[in-house]
Every structure is written in C-alpha cells, then in structure tokens.
Structure 1
Amino acid sequence: MKNGLLKVVYTLVLLGAAFWWGLRFGALLAQVYVGPSWNNFWLETLFESTSLILLHLPLYLLVVLLHEFGHLLGGLWSGYHFVSFRVGNCVLVRWDEGLVWKRFSLMGTGGQCIMAPPVRSDDQFPFLRYHLGGPLMNLLLSLVFFLALEMQPSVWTLLLWSFGGLNLLSALANGIPWKGKVVANDGWNAWNLSKNPAAREVFAKQMLILEAMTRGQQLRALPADWFRIESESRSENSSAASLAFTRAQYMIDKGEEQAGIDLLQSLLESKSSVPSFERTTMQLFKLYYDLLTEVDSVDLSVLDDKETQQFLKGMKDYPFVLSLNYALARLSKQDQAEAARIRQRLDRVLATYPTKAEIDSVWEDLELIDRIAAGQPLD
C-alpha cells in the first residue's frame, strides 16, 4: 500500500510539472515561433513538430550529460574512484591501459556515472554527495527558468525555458525516491543507503567488484570478503540477495561449483524479497550453467515464462543473453545457422563492451560451448 501510494505521488508530481511546463512552453512558442508559411496546416504542423524534436534531442542529451557530471563531482568530492561515465550508449571507461571509449546502454537509463567508494573498515563511507549530485545539478540548472521569465519572448528565451524545464523534470524524476523493475533512481538509492547498513555494505562491495571487473580482474581473483555481508541487518535487506547471487557466481568461477549452485538454488527457493528482474537473471544463469554441464537433461521450461521472454527481449544485446542464446542454439537446438548469426552479433557487442573481465569470461564460455558441441573432452 505504501509503495503504491509513493508511485501515485511520484507520477502525479511528474505529470503536474510536465503539464505546467508544457502550457508555458506552448504559450511562449506561440509568441516566438516563426516558420515558413505554406498555407497548409499539415505541412506547417509537421515542420513545427520536427523542429521541436530536433531542438529538444540535443538539449536532453546535454541535461543527461550535466546530470552525470553532477554525480562525477559528488563522487570525486567524496573520494570515490572513477570507473565509467556514460551518456546514451557512449561510455568512457577506465581500464588499466587508460581511458577508452566503448558502447553500452542500460535499459531504463539515459546515462550512468559509475564510481567506487573509498574503502573503509565500516559502512560509514560518504554516499549522499555521489548519489544526489546528479539531481542537485539538474535542480540548480533549472533555475534558468527565472532568467527566461524575465526575458522578452525570443528564440533564446525558448531555449532557456526548454533547458530549465528538462533540468527540472530530471531533478524530480531522479530525486524523488522511486524503484523500478530494473533500476532504482538516485533518490531511492540515497534514501535506502541512509537507513540501511546492509544496503551500504552491499553497494560498496558491488562497486568494488564492478571496478575490478571493469579493469580486467575475474571474480575468482577477488578477495573473498567482498562477497560476504557482515551487517547484522542483512536478513532484512533484499539487496543481500544480489550480493549472494554474485557470491554464487564467484564460487563457481573458483571451481567450487556445487557450493555455488546450492547457494543459487537456495536463493531461487527462498521467500525473501528478491526483485523479479534479479530472480529471472538467476533462473537464466542456472539454465546457462545446466546447458554447459548437463545439456541432455536440462529443463528449458523457464523460457516459456512471459517475464523471462520480456527479459530476453529487453536484454537481447547483452553478452550474457547472447551467450545463453548461443549455447541454446549450439547445444540444445543444434542449429548451426542460428548459432552463427548469434556469434556474429556477440562478436560485435564484445568489441565495444566496457567490462573487460566479462569479455574474457564470455570468450572462455564460447570456447567451452564449441568444445562441448564438437564432442571434445573437457579438462
């Protein structure tokens, strides 16, 4: 009930702000818009609509860039380590070789600034400046509203009004706590971390793991304590399941396969509040593992689930999903043509993927899949 009420409030605030901004924008546009006069309503409407789209697309990207820059400033101020900076699908990532440009997008996000927190012996590392830096940057820049209100109607006034409005909407959309199926926004993350020691511990360790993997370290090479939660409130926090899933992958990568699968199975069977998106990821990871270890008896029923199908469609260009589809094509369907098409797509994705360790891991898996398909003995 409480979560439903928050969703209603969140939606109403955003719709109200967008409606107010749209009314003022329309009134301003009527005063300053000068377009060709074709004496044809449809041509003039098409021209006006196209112009508005072309106007707001670069403004939107600029707002996203400044939002992520706010996170970057907040993170640097708090002693965080730079990992990657993304706007759209263009990402600047730090590898051991230096900064490199890659391509990546995350469903439900327009950008992302990933930074690893300073290592501490407790869970009291700074997090508010990093998480709220983006919304605060947008909120600050939205003040150009007032500048636009004082100006005479002109094209520049229109641009300032649009820029201020997009920043205001971004500040509200990211600052008001909200958690979706795939990602939570900045406000929710900051609120959750402020009240939950286990969430802080999980966040810190996940970021350290991601930083290490981005630079090329495999899970099996990382410290074991990065995959354990020490906080006393771990049983009350759903984010603990996320780190436990990573721990299961870590154990499998280290060669402790049965222990890792047992942990994964316990997560799938538990009644804890594992988010549906993550539960689907766990199920597909289990399916992937089964394909590589016991293909003749693997249960494919999870693929018939509607939520699984939506997941696979939405994440179709992610290395894990492509690897899973490749394994299904080669080992289950034994469809060489489909496998070849998937492999070509996977090769292109890996060529621009930002997480170095994941790239290496996928190549290892592809070699294993090919050997299994060819009936070659495994080490």
Structure 2
Amino acid sequence: MNSNKNINIKPKKKNKFLNTVIFLVISGIIGAIIGFVLAPYLKGFMDTYSKNDNLFMKFLKVYGLFLIFFVGYIVHIILHEAGHLIFGLMTGYSFISFRIFSFTIVKEDGKIKYKKFNIPGTAGQCLMMPPDLEDGKYPFVIYNFGGVIMNLIVSIIGILIVVLVKELIFPFNTILILFSLAGLLIVLTNGIPMKLGGVPNDAYNVLSMIRDEEAKRGFYIQLRVNGLQSLGTRIKDMPIETFKLKEGSDLCNPLNTAIVLMEYNWHLDNMDLDSAKQCIDSFIPYLDKVVPLFKNEINCERMFLELVGDCDKKFIDDLYDKNLKKYIRAAKFMLGKKRLLMAYEGFYNEDKNQALKHYEDIRKLAEEYPIKGDADMELMISNWIKERL
C-alpha cells in the first residue's frame, strides 16, 4: 500500500469496564421505568398464569414466553432494517438490498429479486446508495438511527396499547408486552455505542463519524462502492484515490479498516499481488485492536496470498486456527471464502479434485450473488487459480 505503509497509529485504549458500567446503568434505568409502567399489567398476567391449568397455559409455562419474545425479536429485526430503509429514502438514499439473516432482496435491472447472502455476526442489513455530497456533507445520522427509531416507535405504541386499552385481555396483552420488550432490547443494543460480537452497532458508527471526519468519509465510500458493485461495476474500474486514507488515520476504526480492505480488493482485482500483500500487511501491527470481523477478513486474505505465493505451511497453519475455520464455515455464502478454500485444497493439500469442487461452487454462487462487481472479480481470480493447478 502506498500512503498507508508507514502510518504510525496509536489508538486510544478503550475503557471496556467503563463502557460496560454505562451500558448496565442506562439499561437498568430504562428497565426500571418500563417495570414501573408495566408492573400492574405484569402482575395481572402472572396471577392468570399461575392459576390457569388448561393445556395452553401448561405449554406457555414451559415454552410460550420465550417463543413469543423470540418471535417478537425477529419481527423487530425486520422492523429495524425497514427503519433504515424508510429513513434512508426520506433523506435521499436509494435502495440496493435488504437482508434478514441470509434472505436477501435486491434491486437488479430494475426488478426486485430474491437471493442468499450473509455476513457472519450480523442479523440483517439494509444497503442503500447515498445521495451525492453537498459541500462534502451527506445525511448519515438519521439513516443510521432509522432502525432504532422504528423499533422505539413500535415498542412505545405496543406499551401504550397495553396501558390504555383496558379491555385488552390475556394473552394479547402479554404478547404485546413481550413484543415491546424485544424491541426495547434492540433499541438498547443499537442505540448505545458498542460492538456486538465484534461488529460496531449503529450508534457506534455515528459516534465514530462525529469524532472522525475520515471515518465519515469512509462510511460514505463504503455505501457508494457497495452500491456501484451491486450494480455491476468492478472495483478496479474505480479511481485508486477513492480508497486512500489521510496520513495518520486510525486503521483500527472499523470504518477506516473497511476502506483499506477495499484498497486491497482494488489491487487484487488488478492482479497486483505484491501491492495487495503490502496493503494487507499494513494491518499486522494493529490486528489485536481491529474488530474481530475485520481481523478474520484480514487473516483470510493473508492466508490466501501465502497459498498462491510461497505456500509456507507453518505460516498457513498458524493463521488457520479454530476461530478462522469457524468464521469461514459461517461465511458460506461469501465468494471470497470459497476462493480461499479452493486455493487451500489446490496448493496446500495439492488436491486438484477438491479444489475444482470449490471452483464449481464459486461458479454456481456467482450466478446469484447480490454484488455483481465482486462476483466478476472472484470468478476472474478463481479461473486464474484453476489455470495454475
């Protein structure tokens, strides 16, 4: 990598204990308020629950509450992503894709299509093309908080119905209470800045962008590049300057990390493996501070470059540990991981047949891949690997 090669970064240490305390205090306050408001209704429910001996109540006693809460949580995940979509459209963004777990809806050639895709550690994602910059600015707060706002509105409505509609009887009042609590849990876990499973939440991203102009630029570039790639543009056809961070930028900030990984993909798409290695190796001093999701991505690409290069088996074994294997298994819909496994079987295990099986998986997956520009790059690299087998 060029401008980032000699960056000397000393990220501020995160006070994890303090963040945990703040989260628990805020959660406790909100929980106390909710408990105070709902106490009479919960008491009434428990009285009914403990005295009723019919079959439904026996089932409910064991599974019902957890099932209702779980279903409510899933519904609120959908509402959360819908919130990003609605508030994004309101502020000038355009629709690219909408994903819940691996079920993905994309806009392709003017038509809405269903595909499968997932990112380990995320339950859903709404990708949108941001509006053009105006004086270097774009709306990012409402778009990021759109999901939290939607969950909060729906949860408050549910609580108000329980409180105000006196005629509402069991089990409808219980369903609404648990549904609203599930929504408030999502509000807390996305509205308070934190990393969940190593993935920054919405509030964390907003706070990062408020504090760091380069991170704000990075978020915009991510949305723009993902949008263009989804429409079929190859990353190699974009200006390399797009992915250059300013001197001294914090590589450990997830929004900046993503931009450098895009620069890596630019070199990879141009088959400039030396520059790609220089780029990915710039992360090595900061790997312990990079969020786990990106750390796994970085190590996957370091492993890939070694496989197609010197193929030092000790180096590969050190990288290919239990955590990385688990991550690769979870990322079964991501073409880059299939490409990595193809190289591993072909060059590490010297098993051409197994490598070609992964190649066929790549070809099939690429046909329905939601990010067309990325699929074209992965097919090109996979064909190059096939020629070398």
Q: Bin the TM-score by the shorter chain.
A: 0.7 to 0.9
For residues 54-86 of structure 1, give each alpha carbon's deviation from its aligned partner in whole angstroms, at most 9, with x where no partner exists. Answer: 534443332122211211122112211221112
- Answer yes or no: is 1:262 the counterpart of 2:266: no
Q: CA RMSD in A?
A: 3.3
- Answer yes or no: is 1:161 the counterpart of 2:177: yes
- For residue 72 of structure 1, the aligned residue among 71, 85, 106 is 85
**SS of the residue aligned with 1:4?**
helix
Contact persistence 1:28–1:158 (CA under 8 A): no
Distance 2:287 2:297 in 1: 16
Contact persistence 1:302–1:308 (CA under 8 A): no
User: What aligned pairs does 1:119-138 form with structure 2 within 5 A after superposition?
Assistant: 119-120=132-133, 122-138=135-151
In the alignment, which residue of structure 1 is the partner of 2:382? 366
User: What aligned pairs does 1:75-86 form with structure 2 within 5 A after superposition?
Assistant: 75-86=88-99
Distance 2:114 2:332 in 1: 22
Q: Bigger CA drift: 345-354 or 359-368?
A: 345-354
Contact persistence 2:306–2:312 (CA under 8 A): no
| 1:205 CA displacement | 0.6
- Answer yes or no: is 1:146 the counterpart of 2:160: yes
Distance 1:236 1:87 in 2: 29
Contact persistence 2:199–2:291 (CA under 8 A): no
Distance 2:159 2:61 in 1: 23
In the alignment, which residue of structure 2 is the partner of 1:234? 249
Distance 2:222 2:119 in 1: 17
User: What aligned pairs does 1:282-293 form with structure 2 within 5 A after superposition?
Assistant: 282-293=298-309
**SS of the residue aligned with 2:122?**
coil
- For residue 220 of structure 1, the aligned residue among 236, 239, 263 is 236
For residues 232-263 of structure 1, give each alpha carbon's deviation from its aligned partner in whole angstroms, at most 9, with x where no partner exists. Answer: 77358734333122112202322443233222
Distance 1:352 1:290 in 2: 29
AA partner of residue 90 (structure 1): F
> Could you say if the C-alpha distance between residues 255 and 350 of structure 1 is closer, same or farther in structure 2, counting changes exceeding 3 Å?
closer
- Identity over aligned pairs, percent: 22
User: What aligned pairs does 1:1-379 form with structure 2 within 5 A after superposition?
Assistant: 2-11=15-24, 13-14=26-27, 27-32=43-48, 37=54, 45-46=58-59, 48-120=61-133, 122-143=135-156, 144-150=158-164, 151-152=166-167, 153-229=169-245, 234-235=249-250, 238=253, 239-269=255-285, 273-295=289-311, 299-336=315-352, 338-339=354-355, 342=358, 346=362, 349-373=365-389
Distance 1:8 1:348 in 2: 48
| 1:299 CA displacement | 3.6
AA partner of residue 147 (structure 1): I
Distance 1:79 1:7 in 2: 36
| 1:296 CA displacement | 7.4
Distance 1:82 1:245 in 2: 24
Distance 2:365 2:198 in 1: 21
For residues 24-63 of structure 1, give each alpha carbon's deviation from its aligned partner in whole angstroms, at most 9, with x where no partner exists. Answer: 586454345597746xxxx975564344455344433321
Distance 1:349 1:16 in 2: 47
**Structure 2 unpaired stretches of 5+:** 1-13
Contact persistence 1:331–1:369 (CA under 8 A): no
**SS of the residue aligned with 1:82?**
strand
**SS of the residue aligned with 1:113?**
strand
Contact persistence 1:71–1:113 (CA under 8 A): yes
Contact persistence 1:218–1:357 (CA under 8 A): yes
For residues 100-147 of structure 1, give each alpha carbon's deviation from its aligned partner in whole angstroms, at most 9, with x where no partner exists. Answer: 111223333322111132221654211111011111111111212132
TM, length-normalised to structure 2: 0.81
How many residues are treated as equivalent by the alignment?
368
AA partner of residue 311 (structure 1): Y
AA partner of residue 167 (structure 1): G
> Could you say if the C-alpha distance between residues 66 and 275 of structure 1 is closer, same or farther in structure 2, counting changes exceeding 3 Å?
closer
Distance 2:356 2:300 in 1: 21
Distance 1:340 1:49 in 2: 49
> Could you say if the C-alpha distance between residues 302 and 56 of structure 1 is closer, same or farther in structure 2, counting changes exceeding 3 Å?
same
Distance 1:190 1:293 in 2: 39
TM, length-normalised to structure 1: 0.83
Q: Bigger CA drift: 128-137 or 262-271?
A: 262-271
| 1:348 CA displacement | 5.7
Distance 2:320 2:264 in 1: 25
| 1:160 CA displacement | 1.8
**SS of the residue aligned with 1:62?**
helix
| 1:307 CA displacement | 4.1
> Could you say if the C-alpha distance between residues 57 and 352 of structure 1 is closer, same or farther in structure 2, counting changes exceeding 3 Å?
farther
AA partner of residue 129 (structure 1): I
AA partner of residue 369 (structure 2): Y
> Could you say if the C-alpha distance between residues 88 and 277 of structure 1 is closer, same or farther in structure 2, counting changes exceeding 3 Å?
closer
> Could you say if the C-alpha distance between residues 356 and 12 of structure 1 is closer, same or farther in structure 2, counting changes exceeding 3 Å?
farther
**SS of the residue aligned with 2:95?**
strand
